[in-house]
Amino acid sequence: MAQHVVLAKFTDQGIRGVKDTPKRAQAFRATAKTMGITIKEIYWTLGQYDVILTMEAPQDELVAALMFKVGALGNLTSQTLRAFSEAEIGAIAAKV
């Protein structure tokens, strides 16, 4: 399964409703699960990003669809990064 890291920031709407963020995280996990995506960890952070999460998905397209759904709710803006494990990057580097 492909690994992804998401860096997210609250929008004005999202920060106004920040007390609901634990409920939104549960709903996000449930939505991801129905799409075959596993949310591994969610962290609320200090600094440039408000939320960082990791997930596993069978296809990058599913991750894109999930993040479109979340973005459409208006609480977060995000940047999604495809992450490679040590074994995966070893196989990639061997092709160079």
Q: What is the pLDDT of residue 22?
A: 97
Encode pLDDT of 32-64 as tens digits: 999 999 999 999 999 999 999 999 999 999 999
Q: What is the pLDDT of residue 28?
A: 98
d(CA 9, CA 45): 10
The helix-helix angle for 60-73 and 21-34 (nearest 10°) equals 150
Encode pLDDT of 60-94 as tens digits: 999 999 999 999 999 999 999 999 999 999 999 99
Backbone angle region of 37, left / alpha / beta, with phi > 0 → left and psi within -120 to 50 → alpha:
beta
Four-point Cα dihedral 33, 51, 63, 85, nearest 10: -100
Tell which CATH classification among 3.30.70.920, 3.40.50.10860, 2.60.200.30, 3.20.20.105 matches the domain 2-94: 3.30.70.920
Residue spans per domain, the chain: 2-94
Overall average pLDDT of the 13-38 stretch: 98
